[in-house]
Structure 1
């Protein structure tokens, strides 16, 4: 197994004062993937959790992150893959697994997924040499980090790119992006099916009718029982861009249906996110040019199973049927970068919108009802205090089974944009911040440099993980697994934090154990405020508190 480097974990924030009657607790770590000096392009770009993972008998899950790392020669990027203990946040492979394509050029992992047996799949773009240029690549690893197979797709000896992927429980991979073909080197929206054994099932390329187009490419993908839905951009000609959708039948003949959305004219329309419901309704989200005053707006589109604008989002209030625009308060360029579907089949979307005068963008999150209305209490807008003329941007979103919303992204600190911080927060279903404004988590790495979040995931304990890049400067430390490391420059960085109370954790060490039980017994019968053993916050330490500790015994513990 090719391994590179060691890992360091740094506890950078103290545990918040989270009593059991509060709804937020926080702990942040940084996690790095390599130990190379002068590193330039190291970042996590996609994250997935294996909830079946068990460390020390505690079902906390394993966290897998892919992205890019600077290679040993420090001349190019390789695909990187990291496996983390979801509890202690240390590297279970003692380093990062890397993939260097046959052309010895730049390679990057853009998407990650798991099958039902716990195997890991990475999709990205990899340089194959002068004869093939960049190719789509799919890699399958076992849980020990050993490469099972690799599959490369080259259509016409020119640049091909993988942007997103879905993996089924049986290990079938659907990968989307674009391929380049023809003398004019135009891009075609492309989807490929890679079988569980690493062979090509089929490849589909968008035509959007018979009229030749300049460029089409995919940014996102969704899967139903019978079809694959591919969203992105259709560029028919000139400088205009439309939102394009390709609906592909999974099995049988080359059966493709198309949908194109051309907003309010010859502007720029882009789909960055897609979702499909059990009724085969399709949501697309991104940006659309509205007019010269409002410029580009958030846009969300709902289609029925026939790819027609849905009548369940009726027209009204200046909104067309099946389409919802959102314009930030300052009439700037707004764009949805991520969207999630909640348990009720409705969407929540986030990105950046110009809400504050002089700012290039704030994190604005919008939730819609089944009828296409903005839910009461939404949108939620966040502009960092003291950050005039600075960008805040969300790049990822997750909704849990209770309809809580988790947002991750970045906040620019310096005027030239070179210094950024990771940002994450949790919103209740009504749009209010969990824990209030003080629990917006801003992570600034040891070097106080360029830190940012790209992708977020949430485990079954409502612990959130935000991955991206953390600038370590020059740091030496030992992680919770005993790994020593010297870290330099930007690294694959993952921040972990609790977003739900850990009931029964009397001493607030993120582990309900015999120490907490001892605290309850020691304070038994005492009354008053501020008692650690009063885990239910009712002013008395009694059998109810002991029952809470025993019911939650072992939760949060890493060993």
Structure 2
């Protein structure tokens, strides 16, 4: 768990945000509010877009009412960013936005930038994709009250440049917004821009560009003048900085100076530390801090440390400078990360101490905080903090309250709890510790179910992750009693997880997963194990040269797996076949082009035993992916055909699921970037013989925003069921049925609410009815929780047969991962509830209906459960439209009678569902 950003609200309370480990579910954005007085946690809110995904905050602002806005990057194999606002009092979600055409990796901030005006409106600076698929610097303004988009502007590039990168954003007292960044020129010098837009409507007020002032950072003073700090281009020897002040009205240069005071030893490794940080005091003087070094003329060697300098507001003259020498004699270096000023103009610096201080292991770090006097830069005090784990303790951000007390947040090694959020308050006078709070997340005890299956008796077997190891368990059909469990020793390798489980012809269970080794250059290897049905004893186990992201058995009990492998030279698609006794029969590696990152996710096996895999191949240079699907011979792994899909926007296209029909034709589905409006469902059917495209369908939801399929199934007639998340309409959980022949839409169904929801898995029962599971927004006080949502839809028309929502005892974040259905209609769903592995089993116990003739009609009789309501429906054919006749509540004893005296001519069908 790593805190990265900190802010203070008008009442003096402290808000921090960062990432918390979700185990195999990736990293989530965690925001916590502490009382400024005593450090008591007031509320917390957690956002995770999905599983196997990393959501990382990049910006945090607080408005004058204390409402908290967080923005970050959500990496689900696509390039997306996320913004949410939480209520000051309890962290309830006010509004949120998700955008899906944002290239990740080029921006210095690694995510969107935020600003807030005096009215609470939010400015967002981000890179977006233009119509040509290249990056553009964009600014948008949202209403703080309800998140409505007020305006958005995309910077107009010079004709000679072709990609923009945004580096910083600031908002002045009048509510205008300033951004800085760079424009790449492939045929000449790149240009570096500082651009100001009117807060009212986004009108361009002015722009200034240079060719020799790179990586500009911007701040504004009390008059709205813009301070720009950056590095001189191609000055790698001294790494000199420039500081410039530009007029608020028109951007004209008021003064500029070169700063050699930050001279850095070119041989010094920065270890990820920023080159410089800047702050403006109440008198508009400028404070700058950064990694530095001073040449000792006696020894002729550089002495490392950091330097803090104060420049005058009027002309940029140096008022004072202080160099804090790192005491290399005892083996550590101080690296600043943040700077701020208190109301008296004193400077506060935080960062970390890298090296061997007080018996820390080499290359580990401690918190560091220091205070410098406003008048002359004297060091007033400094404080160090070493966590109990004697590992990495890294102060990443700081803030100051009106009394001059200092708040610092970051990450700290807690020993067994690994990296934790660590937030502390220090007294203004002497730096004494006033309070400290550690948040150790849930990943140490976290467990997640990834996949589920049922045996012939209806017993349930799940596999996933618990602690740091793979975990598989078997539960009794009738009671859910734990029959056996099997764990791997993941702590020795850095975290293992089961990803798939299948029952073989003998009733034993084959489990596949990955081994996340931290002790090898080739990380993320895989395993396959066969476990005895009786007690979970390992019958055999095989280690693989790639992950086992998905696994299936062929008709002879042979095991097919797919995943990815990695060496020091790059990544590759990995597919392997093992015999029923675990012997490796063949393995294949696909790594074309070599510069791409290859991420297969799912596989299927056709009747002939051939294996088809799908996933994403991502360009390292542009960080944009394409669907990649390949068919391999079951006999020897020879490549039979391959198919790549790059959508019309030439953006990010991410394959998530695959299915095969009885004729061996292949269906793949996922999300595909669709220009300015985000992403669409994309589904394609390929001929099994040669991979020729038989048909393809795109779906853009009613909100013209984020739409992505996550799961696919094919029924006995070859019709295709796709499901996933679709923004807008009556709910985000979206399922559609396409005709086998041409992909024509048969029916579609929406469920859930309007927040961060989506179907994650789909399957079919013996009658062809569709079972889906996903996460649906809960009703918790933070607005950031979710529940399991599971439903059965009728095969013919998608009518809801039943739907269930499960909320775990913690009442927080419940997300399903897999679903399975037994021959007797038992449905098992596994995932995590409150980050504990949780499996829910449903039994369909619909009442038996009797029909008796009565004068002028029929009398329906059935027995329900007292207090429950039942929907009675009628149709003239099984494939027809169902009409609701009544919705009676079962009385005491449960007996219900309903007379239908308005019969249609011919045949009638009736069905009863719990309402």
TM, length-normalised to structure 1: 0.65
2:311 is the alignment partner of 1:303: yes
1:300-337 CA deviation, whole Å, 9 max, x = no partner? 111123545434x3xxxxxxxx3433425645443221
2:46 is the alignment partner of 1:32: yes
Contact 1:165–1:174, Cα closer than 8 Å, also in 2: yes
2:193 is the alignment partner of 1:190: yes
Matched position secondary structure for 1:101: coil
Contact 2:387–2:413, Cα closer than 8 Å, also in 1: no
CA distance in 2, matches of 1:299, 1:148: 42
Contact 1:158–1:181, Cα closer than 8 Å, also in 2: yes
Higher Cα Rg, which structure: 2
1:192-217 CA deviation, whole Å, 9 max, x = no partner? 1011211222121245xxxxx4x611
CA distance in 2, matches of 1:113, 1:101: 21
Partner of 1:348: 348
Contact 1:287–1:335, Cα closer than 8 Å, also in 2: yes
Give the C-alpha shift of residue 239 in structure 1.
5.2
1:214-251 CA deviation, whole Å, 9 max, x = no partner? x6112442324152101232243345422222221222
Within-5 A mapping of 1:118-157: 118-128=120-130, 130=132, 133-142=134-143, 143-156=145-158, 157=161
Contact 1:43–1:68, Cα closer than 8 Å, also in 2: yes
CA distance in 1, matches of 2:371, 2:31: 34
CA distance in 1, matches of 2:42, 2:776: 17
Within-5 A mapping of 1:318-337: 322-327=321-326, 330=330, 332-337=332-337
CA distance in 2, matches of 1:300, 1:394: 17
Contact 1:380–1:431, Cα closer than 8 Å, also in 2: no
Matched position secondary structure for 2:93: coil
CA distance in 2, matches of 1:483, 1:386: 31
Give the C-alpha shift of residue 126 in structure 1.
2.7
Within-5 A mapping of 1:400-415: 400-412=401-413
CA distance in 2, matches of 1:350, 1:111: 21
Question: Given the alignment, which residue of 155, 165, 172 partners 1:168?
Answer: 172
- Relative distance call for 1:333 and 1:309 in structure 2 (3 A) is farther
1:422-459 CA deviation, whole Å, 9 max, x = no partner? 22111111243444xxx422212222499xxxxxxxxx
CA distance in 2, matches of 1:9, 1:288: 33
Matched position secondary structure for 1:354: strand
CA distance in 1, matches of 2:29, 2:396: 24
CA distance in 1, matches of 2:172, 2:38: 34
Partner of 2:61: 48
Partner of 2:440: 444
- Relative distance call for 1:475 and 1:482 in structure 2 (3 A) is closer
Contact 1:231–1:284, Cα closer than 8 Å, also in 2: no
Contact 1:125–1:136, Cα closer than 8 Å, also in 2: yes
Within-5 A mapping of 1:222-261: 222-225=220-223, 227-238=225-236, 240-252=238-250, 254-255=252-253, 257-261=255-259
CA distance in 1, matches of 2:146, 2:777: 26
CA distance in 2, matches of 1:185, 1:344: 43
CA distance in 2, matches of 1:184, 1:265: 28
Contact 2:231–2:242, Cα closer than 8 Å, also in 1: yes
Number of residues paired by the alignment? Answer: 414
CA distance in 2, matches of 1:38, 1:299: 41
Partner of 1:68: 73
2:366 is the alignment partner of 1:362: yes
Partner of 1:204: 208
Give the C-alpha shift of residue 359 in structure 1.
4.3
CA distance in 2, matches of 1:11, 1:183: 44
Contact 1:327–1:334, Cα closer than 8 Å, also in 2: yes
CA distance in 2, matches of 1:413, 1:379: 22
Partner of 1:338: 338
CA distance in 2, matches of 1:374, 1:182: 47
Gaps of 5+ in 2: 1-27, 447-467, 469-774, 787-812, 817-915
Q: RMSD across aligned C-alpha pairs, in angstroms?
A: 3.8
CA distance in 2, matches of 1:191, 1:12: 33
Give the C-alpha shift of residue 475 in structure 1.
13
Contact 2:39–2:436, Cα closer than 8 Å, also in 1: no
- Relative distance call for 1:81 and 1:24 in structure 2 (3 A) is same
Partner of 1:385: 388
Question: Given the alignment, which residue of 82, 85, 102 partners 1:83?
Answer: 85
Within-5 A mapping of 1:394-405: 394-405=395-406
Partner of 1:3: none
Give the C-alpha shift of residue 483 in structure 1.
6.0
CA distance in 2, matches of 1:283, 1:129: 41
Give the C-alpha shift of residue 48 in structure 1.
1.4
TM, length-normalised to structure 2: 0.41
- Relative distance call for 1:138 and 1:310 in structure 2 (3 A) is same
Contact 1:125–1:135, Cα closer than 8 Å, also in 2: yes
Q: By percentage of residues, which structure has more strand? A: 2
Within-5 A mapping of 1:414-433: 420-433=419-432
CA distance in 2, matches of 1:240, 1:408: 31
- Relative distance call for 1:323 and 1:12 in structure 2 (3 A) is closer
CA distance in 2, matches of 1:413, 1:109: 28
Question: Given the alignment, which residue of 480, 495, 504 partners 2:781?
Answer: 480
* Structure with more contact order per residue of length (Cα contacts < 8 Å, sep ≥ 6): 1
Give the C-alpha shift of residue 121 in structure 1.
0.9
Partner of 2:101: 101
